[in-house]
Chains A and B, each alone.
Chain A
Amino acid sequence: MLFNSFEFLVFFTIFFVLFFYTKGYTRHAILFVSSCIFYAWFIPKYLLILFLAIGIDYYAAIKIEDATTEAKRKIGLLFGVINTCALLFVFKYYNFFIENVSQVLGSDFVRWDIILPIGLSFHTFQSLSYVIDVYRKKVKPERNLLIYSNYVMMFPQLVAGPIERAGHLMPQLRESLTYRLNQTDFVIGASLFFYGLFKKVVVADNIAPYVDSVYSNHALHDGSTLLLASMLFSVQIYADFSGYSDMAIGLARMLGFSFQPNFATPYFSRSVTEFWRRWHISLSSWIRDYLYYPLVRSFGRTTKVKIYLSTLITFALIGLWHGANWTFLAFGTLHGIYLVAEGVTEKTRKSVADFLRLEKLGFIYYGFQTSVVFILVSLSFVFFRSTSFEEALSIFKNIFFDFSLSKINVLDTNGFAVLFFSIGLLFLSEFFVFRKFTVEDVYKKEHGTLYSMALIAISLLLILAFGFFGGGSFIYFQF
Chain B
Amino acid sequence: MISILKKIILCLAVVIILDRVCGYLFMEIFFKNTFSGESGGTINYVISKKPKLDFLILGPSRAKHSINPNTLTALGKNGHNLGINATTIINSSLIFDLLLKEGVTTKVLVLQTDLENYNKQSDSVLLDQIKRLYPYDTDTIRSYVKELSFAERLMYQSDLYKLNRKMLNVGFNFLKRNSMEDYNGYVGLPSTQYPPLDTSLSQNYVFDETTKNWEAFKKIAALAKRKDIPLIVVFPPSYKNVFFNKVEQKKLVEAMKKEGVALIVDLSDVTKIPRLENKDLWRDSLHLNSEGAEIFSELLNNELKKSLIKSPHIKKSTL
Interface residues of A (CB under 8 A from B): 5-6, 20, 181, 183, 186-187, 206, 220, 413-415, 417-418, 421, 449, 453-454, 456-457, 460-461, 464-470
Q: Which chain A residues border B38 with CB–CB below 8 Å?
A: 414
Q: Which chain A residues border B169 with CB–CB below 8 Å?
A: 413-414, 417
**A-B contacts, 20 listed (Cβ < 8 Å):** A20-B1, A181-B4, A186-B4, A206-B165, A413-B169, A414-B38, A414-B39, A417-B168, A418-B168, A454-B14, A456-B11, A461-B160, A464-B160, A464-B164, A465-B160, A465-B161, A467-B164, A467-B165, A468-B165, A470-B127
| Nearest CB in chain B to that of A449: its residue | B7
Give the shortest distance, in Å, between A201 (CB) and chain B (any CB).
11
Closest 7 CB pairs of A and B: A6-B151, A414-B169, A464-B160, A465-B160, A417-B168, A464-B161, A453-B11
Q: Which of A20, A183, A417, A468 contacts B172 (CB 8 A)?
A: A417
Most A-side CB within 10 Å, residue of B11, B38, B39, B161: B11
Known A20-B1, A183-B4: A457·B11 in contact at CB below 8 Å:
yes
Give the shortest distance, in Å, between B285 (CB) and chain A (any CB).
13
Assembly CA distance A276 to B2 (angstroms): 43
Query: Could you give, for residues 148-178 of chain B, a 1 whenever the CB lies within 8 Å of some chain A CB and a 0 otherwise?
Result: 0111001100101101111111001000000
Q: Is B273 an interface residue (CB 8 A)?
A: no
Give the shortest distance, in Å, between B103 (CB) and chain A (any CB).
28
Give the shortest distance, in Å, between A414 (CB) and chain B (any CB).
4
Contact, CB under 8 Å: A465 / B15: no
Most B-side CB within 10 Å, residue of A186, A417, A461: A461
Considering only residues 204-249 of chain B, those with a C-beta below 8 Å from chain A are none
Contact, CB under 8 Å: A465 / B163: yes
Using A414-B38, A417-B169, A418-B168 as known contacts, list a sample of 20 further A-B pairs with CB atoms less than 8 Å apart, ordered by residue number in A.
Answer: A6-B150, A181-B1, A181-B4, A183-B7, A220-B194, A413-B169, A453-B10, A453-B14, A457-B18, A461-B15, A461-B22, A464-B160, A464-B161, A465-B161, A465-B164, A465-B165, A465-B167, A466-B165, A469-B155, A469-B164
Q: Which chain B residues border A457 with CB–CB below 8 Å?
A: 11, 14-15, 18
- What is the interface size of chain B, counting residues whose CB is below 8 A from a CB of the partner? 32
How many contacts between A and B, using CB within 8 angstroms?
Answer: 69
Q: Which chain A residues border B160 with CB–CB below 8 Å?
A: 461, 464-465
Contact, CB under 8 Å: B168 / A461: no
| Nearest CB in chain B to that of A182: its residue | B4
Contact, CB under 8 Å: B10 / A418: no
Q: Is B143 an interface residue (CB 8 A)?
A: no
| Nearest CB in chain B to that of A5: its residue | B151
Known A183-B4, A187-B7: A460·B15 in contact at CB below 8 Å:
yes
Q: Which chain B residues border A417 with CB–CB below 8 Å?
A: 168-169, 172
Tell me the dominant secondary structure on chain A's binding face: helix
Contact, CB under 8 Å: B4 / A466: no
Q: Is B19 an interface residue (CB 8 A)?
A: yes
Assembly CA distance A375 to B222 (angstroms): 57
Q: Which chain B residues border A460 with CB–CB below 8 Å?
A: 15
Assembly CA distance A465 to B151 (angstroms): 16
Q: Which chain A residues border B19 with CB–CB below 8 Å?
A: 461, 464
| Nearest CB in chain B to that of A21: its residue | B1
Assembly CA distance A6 to B37 (angstroms): 32
Give the shortest distance, in Å, between A456 (CB) and chain B (any CB).
6
Query: Could you give, for residues 32-52 of chain B, a 1 whenever the CB lies within 8 Å of some chain A CB and a 0 otherwise?
Result: 000001110000000000000
Give the shortest distance, in Å, between B259 (CB) and chain A (any CB).
32
Q: Which chain B residues border A453 with CB–CB below 8 Å?
A: 7, 10-11, 14
Query: Could you give, for residues 1-25 of chain B, a 1 whenever the CB lies within 8 Å of some chain A CB and a 0 otherwise?
Result: 1011001001100110011001000
Considering only residues 108-150 of chain B, those with a C-beta below 8 Å from chain A are 127, 149-150
Assembly CA distance A417 to B37 (angstroms): 13
Give the shortest distance, in Å, between A412 (CB) and chain B (any CB).
9
Give the shortest distance, in Å, between A81 (CB) and chain B (any CB).
43
Q: Which chain B residues border A461 with CB–CB below 8 Å?
A: 15, 18-19, 22, 160
| Nearest CB in chain B to that of A180: its residue | B1
Q: Which chain B residues border A220 with CB–CB below 8 Å?
A: 194
| Nearest CB in chain A to that of B17: its residue | A457
Q: Which chain B residues border A456 with CB–CB below 8 Å?
A: 11
Assembly CA distance A469 to B38 (angstroms): 19
Assembly CA distance A184 to B166 (angstroms): 36
Assembly CA distance A453 to B15 (angstroms): 10
Q: Which chain B residues border A5 with CB–CB below 8 Å?
A: 151
Give the shortest distance, in Å, between B172 (CB) and chain A (any CB).
7
Give the shortest distance, in Å, between B227 (CB) and chain A (any CB).
32
Give the shortest distance, in Å, between A10 (CB) and chain B (any CB).
10
Assembly CA distance A5 to B149 (angstroms): 12
